[in-house]
A and B are shown apart, each in its own frame.
Chain A
Amino acid sequence: MQHGKYRFIVGFLAMPLGLYALFVVWPFIQSIYYSFTDWTGLSPDFKMVGLDNYTRMFDDKIFWKSLQHSLLFAVLLPLVTISLALFFSFMINVGGRRRRGGPVVSGVRGSSFYKIVYFFPQVLSIAIVALLFAFAYNPDSGAINSLLRGIGLDSVQPLWLGDPNLALWCVMAVLVWSTVGFFVVLFSAGMASIPADLYEAALLDGASRVTTFFRITLPLLWDTVQSGWVYMGILALGAESFAVVQIMTTGPGGPDYSTTVMVLYVYQKAFRDGQAAYATTIGVALLVVTLAFAAIVMRLGRRERLEY
């Protein structure tokens, strides 16, 4: 039966690989191909223009601005979100005060309630989250400025999304808020599988909570953190950042290009300006950035796997 082995394996692989090639690889190749044309997206005729789109992209100030913002998203958002999520899930699972007769490690009081609360934003569609925050950021009657007025800070009434210095941070805050819950749940699941006797031993040795976190929790959770990092980076470069920028910001992408990101730029070029070929060019740049990001994270995060 040895000779039939490969046929057997191929039989199983053909279907999924075929689907993958057709629906993932082929569109990628096509997009790259179209980035060398002058296709408008509105008519079937186009011609090859060589590297014109690429030279144009390198001279395009808005492209560089959007690249800069996307990179900032890719670096900062995972950092903030994952740090917060690690902190929250540690407090929920391990950080609690030891109660008489209770288990050795437990979360803070009411941790099961917090777990649900943190996960809540995940249930809402990102479009709804963005819309809700757009209301909250309304400088005239939004929740945030009303709150500021309510506590007597009448002079502090920022324009939030209307201020080029604040707008990008406002957008990032929304992304952190809406995604942190998912990672809390993800890391909680990871922490639950860490054997309690490791903690017990550490506590007997007199380790503080901070030490247990850095010496036990984080190393044993490293794989999860790493994939979470890549996932969050892709969210920050891709659809999620598009949704919030498109729905919330001035213009969108403003004020004065202060919030434009690469995905938004792709969308605007393809669907507003009728320059689908140029949009695919930016798409190719986005592909390069995303792959580079994933490669860097994987490379930096490489560690020996711990067995327990």
Chain B
Amino acid sequence: MGSTSAANHGGGGVGRRDLIKRSAALGLLTLPTAGFLSACASSGGDSQDKAKAGKKTAQNPLAVNDTAQMEFVLFDGGFGKEYAEDAVKIYEQNFPKAEVKFSATQKIQSTLQPRFNQGTPPDLIDNSGAEQMDMGVLVGKNQLADLTPLLDAPSYDDPDKKVRDTLRPGIVEMGQFDGDPVWIFYYAYTVYGVWYSQKALNALDEQYPETWDQMLAVCAKAKKKGIAGWTYAGKYPYYIPFSLYPMIGKVGGRDVLDAIDNLEPNAWKHPAVKACFEAYYELYKKGYILKGTPGLDHIQSQTAWAQGKALFLPNGSWVENESANVIPEDFDLAVSAPTGLDSSDRMPFGTIWASGAEPFVVPAKAKNPAGGMEQLRIMLSEASSKSFTAKVKSLSAYNGGTTGIILTPGLKSGQAALEKAGDNVVNPRIQDWYVKLQKEQIGVAGLGEMMAGRMTPAEAITKIQGFADEAAKDTSIKHYKHQ
């Protein structure tokens, strides 16, 4: 179960797809239960007993009431809870008179949904995991507080620098839905791409391929040695986009990805999309996909890949932690930005998908929202970020914080990939804007079928475009656009 940010992000949601939660989900199921939940809906009263603002000082720029209780609910997943407990201790030191109620759970939704319905949510929530509450709905129903005061507050380490200026690219934008308010703060930073063992590539006497012809050549070479080129989470094919989307961006430019996110008509019919789909389909046609892959779940595919049965795996940076127990010591884990088609691609090699993960929110109806934000400000200090990276093998939203600690191979490689990418970081939003479209429709019913060879790229594109058009027309979901 050691997964990390897999699930924070709509796309990797299976990371914590574990037994306990699923069986627990059973209990939430039946019609009567739905009735019980709904019972809470009508009983919801507004509680207006908010904590009074405290005194605004240099040490307390958010004017936290130093006697008010602060409640923090953390998702207890692959990142564990130690990093948050450490940050809570600092809060308690800074506000010795305030009581902090900290709890960690895997069942975010079952614990907190009734409290939202009653209007008594906690002050800070790590809304993550398999039981993540739908962000679009929370935002649409005005349940979240705008985090702009936090972003404009001086940073914890340097009073001359705003928190906003200490963050990695894309973090602030990801928290926006439409317009300026920032509803969500993504604390972890995930690098998506093609994961491989440098050792395995060395054994083939190859480098990571930069063009698709080279990719096919490497796969052909591997096949001769009885190694498959690729494998992926066949049961959750929405892992394929982790390398496919940035490839589409690289081939056709950012506009293509933006058009897809905006659900524009014919966005999927763009030649770049077609070319990339055909490139991936060729992997199947030529037999470069590990046999049986469509029946493997994410753990099984990662295990097969770690055992050296396949070279490349589309995944996110949590894979290092999640598969730590099967990745051999001398594996030399590395990540690369996706291979492009050829030199006519619109963006250079190195274009990579990286984005925030592990979403923290402060509810609009929280009693002590300033306290929740102050807690986040503490977590965004260099020291807290460093301890997070060291403990959970993941980068944080804080830009930096990696000097002086020993990075694991995957983390180091991710850091290098980010440096190589520079400004060429893409961030497709479709997976947090339209979860169902991304996972169930594009992922399972589209890409999954194509990669299993049951659909041609042209058919897959038509089908996916149909799903996207349907989503664009669906009035029951909220629609978003790139600014």
Contacts and interface: CB of A to CB of B under 8 A. Distances in A.
5 contacts: A43-B141, A125-B23, A250-B236, A254-B448, A256-B445
Interface stretch (A113-121, A136-144, A207-215): A136-144
B31 interface: yes
B440 A161 contact: no
B448 A255 contact: yes
For chain A, give the interface size range. Answer: 35 or more
A151 B33 CA distance: 48
A42 B116 contact: yes
Interface string B105-121: 00001000100111100
A157 interface: yes
Contacts of A127: 19, 22-23, 26
Given A31-B38, A249-B235, A251-B443, 6 more contacts: A28-B35, A31-B32, A41-B38, A42-B133, A160-B295, A267-B25
Contact of A162 (B43, B131, B294, B477): B294
Interface stretch (B54-62, B164-172, B296-304, B343-351): B296-304
Contact of A140 (B33, B300, B436, B443): B300
Contacts of B104: none
B438 to A, nearest CB: 12
Given A42-B141, A162-B295, A23 B32 contact: yes
Interface in B421-471: 435-436, 439-440, 443-445, 448-449, 452, 454
B41 A44 contact: yes
A251 B444 contact: yes
B137 interface: yes
B220 interface: no
Interface in B114-139: 116-119, 131, 133-134, 136-138
B403 interface: no
A140 B306 CA distance: 14
Residue from A41, A125, A243, A246 having most chain B Cβ neighbours under 10 A: A41
B34 interface: yes
A266 interface: yes
Interface of A: 23-24, 26-31, 34, 39-46, 56, 125-128, 131, 134, 137-142, 145, 157, 159-164, 238-239, 242-243, 246-247, 249-251, 253-257, 263, 266-268, 270-276, 278-280, 283-284, 286-287
B36 A138 contact: no
A27 B440 contact: no
Nearest to B138: A42
A59 to B, nearest CB: 11
Contacts, number: 208
Contacts of A280: 31, 34-35, 38
A39 B113 CA distance: 13
B296 A140 contact: yes
B117 A283 contact: no
Contacts of B143: 42-43
Nearest to A243: B26
A273 B38 contact: no
Nearest to A239: B26
B454 to A, nearest CB: 7
Contacts of B40: 44
Residue from B142, B236, B295, B297 having most chain A Cβ neighbours under 10 A: B295
Q: Is the interface of A mostly helix, strand, loop or mixed?
A: helix
B292 interface: yes
Interface in B1-54: 19, 22-23, 25-26, 28-44
A272 B137 CA distance: 10
A284 B34 CA distance: 11
B194 interface: no
B26 A242 contact: yes
A43 B137 contact: yes
Nearest to B454: A164
A157 B236 CA distance: 20
B234 interface: yes
A127 B234 CA distance: 21
Contact of A34 (B26, B29, B38, B113): B38
A276 B22 contact: no
B202 interface: no
A247 B22 CA distance: 7
Given A26-B35, A34-B38, A128 B296 contact: no
Nearest to A166: B295
B290 interface: yes
Given A161-B235, A162-B234, A239 B444 contact: no
B254 interface: no
Contact of A283 (B34, B119, B293, B295): B34
Contacts of A246: 22, 25
A203 B36 CA distance: 57
B476 interface: yes
B440 A24 contact: no
B23 A243 contact: yes
Contacts of A251: 235-236, 439-440, 443-444, 448
B221 interface: no
B42 A27 contact: no
Given A139-B292, A243-B22, A257 B41 contact: no
